[in-house]
């Protein structure tokens, strides 16, 4: 574990060293790549006046609510698709079609249908993750050993008991992994969600700074999106270990 932490820290340190070399060494103009000190100055400024933390909170709330709604609806839909050929035949073509639609192209429709308040931001995150998550859960549930289901039927379990006690529990490790992956995708749609009628959020300050070539603020926003994303990934990994402690991936200690 210590070796893993050292290697992880070294990789981040290498990025910072390269960043310092190309900026302080004058290899790239600061208009294109700001120096670490310039970005740090913006971070300090935003942290001092509280605007940075406010924007982080707003963006985190939007991502988590939009993703949570997708997870709540995708879980039963994906599980039923994996078990019902009729339901799968009806729903899967729609899911396969919808998951290829670029979310940014749906922004005008979301504004038309739900307006420009917070609901529109949640909907963008939802649309960016729901369809892929349904298919991922379907694939995870489809991989369950059928012998477990047959054994439950032999013991007299009804359909609800099979879903609750066998299918859900057997697929839970994989479903939690699916959740962890799609949280990462949800963060990638944040800037799209904050494109229109937003007055706060990390995506908003990135788009606003783009107009004035404020690359130092853009880097600050990107760094904090990445840091919060790493934090959510860590929380999901921790929850997976707590909920399904028996589940181990290849390479884990």
What mean pLDDT do residues 201-211 have? 86
Q: Which of 102, 184, 89, 171 is nearest to 137 (CA)?
A: 171
Confidence class of residue 251 from pLDDT cuts 50, 70 and 90?
A: very low
According to CATH, what is the number of the domain 34-243? 1.10.3720.10
pLDDT reading at 190 higher than 60: yes
DSSP letters along the chain, please? -HHHHHHHHHHHHHHHHHHHHHHHTTSS-TTTS--HHHHHHHHHHHHHHSHHHHHHHHHHHHHHHHHHHHHHHHHHHHHHHHH-HHHHHHHHHHHHHHTTS-GGGGHHHHHHHH-SSHHHHHHHHHHHHHHHHHHHHHHHHHTS-HHHHHHHHHTT--HHHIIIIIIHHHHHHHHHHHHHHHHHHHHHTHHHHTSSS--SSHHHHHHHHHHTT-HHHHHHHHHHHHHHHHHHHHHHHHHHHHH-TT---TT--
Query: Is pLDDT above 90 for 241?
Result: no
Q: What integer is the mean pLDDT of 90-108?
A: 87
Q: Is the pLDDT of residue 64 over 90?
A: yes
Tokens coding 42: 């913006």
pLDDT above 90 as % of the chain:
23
Residue 211 has pLDDT above 50, yes or no: yes
Give the number of other Cβ atoms within 10 Å of residue 164's Cβ: 12
What is the band of 250 on the pLDDT scale with cuts at 50, 70, 90? very low
| Residue whose tokens read 């729901």 | 130
Q: Higher confidence at residue 5 or residue 81?
A: 81
Residue 112 has pLDDT above 50, yes or no: yes
Quick one: pLDDT at residue 244? 80
Q: What does the CA dihedral 186, 188, 194, 196 come to, rounded to 10 degrees?
A: -110
How sure is the predictor about 169, in pLDDT bands with cuts at 50, 70 and 90?
confident
The candidate with the shortest Cα–Cα distance to 189, out of 124, 130, 97, is 124
- pLDDT for the residue 22: 87
Each domain of the chain, given as residue ranges in start order, spans: 1-33, 34-243
Average pLDDT over residues 15-33: 85
- Give dist(CA 21, CA 27) in Å, integer: 8
Lowest mean per-residue pLDDT among 33-37, 60-64, 147-151, 179-183: 147-151
23-32, 93-102, 242-251: range with highest mean pLDDT: 93-102
Q: Can you spell out the DSSP letters for 94-147?
A: HHHHHTTS-GGGGHHHHHHHH-SSHHHHHHHHHHHHHHHHHHHHHHHHHTS-HH
- Confidence category of residue 85, pLDDT binned at 50, 70, 90: confident
Instruction: Quote the CA–CA distance of 203 and 98 in Å, as a whole number.
Output: 24
Half-sphere exposure of 27 (CA within 13 A, CB side): 8
Chain mean pLDDT for the chain = 85
Q: Is the pLDDT of residue 1 over 60?
A: no
Q: Tell whether the model's pLDDT for residue 201 goes beyond 50.
A: yes
The count of C-alpha atoms lying within 13 angstroms of the C-alpha of 85, restricted to the half-sphere facing its C-beta, is 0
Residue 141 pLDDT class (50, 70, 90 cuts): confident
Q: How far apart are CA 140 and CA 133, in angstroms?
A: 10
């Amino acid at each position: 574990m210590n070796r893993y932490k050292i290697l992880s820290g070294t990789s981040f340190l290498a990025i910072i060293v390269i960043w310092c070399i190309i900026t302080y060494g004058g290899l790239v103009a600061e208009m294109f790549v700001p120096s670490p000190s310039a970005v740090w100055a913006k971070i300090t400024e935003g942290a001092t006046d509280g605007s940075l933390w406010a924007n982080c909170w707003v963006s985190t709330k939007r991502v988590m609510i939009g993703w949570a709604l997708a997870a709540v609806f995708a879980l039963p839909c994906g599980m039923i698709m994996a078990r019902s050929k009729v339901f799968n035949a009806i729903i899967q073509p729609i899911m396969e079609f919808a998951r290829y639609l670029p979310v940014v192209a749906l922004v005008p429709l979301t504004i038309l249908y739900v307006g420009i308040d917070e609901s529109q931001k949640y909907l963008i995150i939802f649309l960016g993750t729901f369809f892929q998550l349904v298919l991922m859960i379907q694939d995870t549930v489809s991989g369950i050993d059928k012998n477990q289901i047959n054994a439950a039927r032999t013991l007299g379990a009804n359909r609800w008991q099979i879903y609750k006690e066998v299918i859900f529990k057997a697929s839970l490790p994989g479903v939690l992994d699916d959740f962890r992956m799609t949280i990462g995708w949800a963060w990638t749609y944040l800037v799209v969600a904050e494109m229109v009628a937003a007055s706060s959020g990390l995506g908003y300050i990135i788009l606003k700074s783009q107009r004035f070539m404020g690359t130092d603020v853009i880097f600050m926003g990107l760094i904090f999106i990445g840091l919060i994303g790493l934090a959510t990934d860590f929380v999901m990994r921790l929850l997976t270990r707590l909920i399904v402690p028996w589940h181990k991936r290849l390479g884990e200690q």
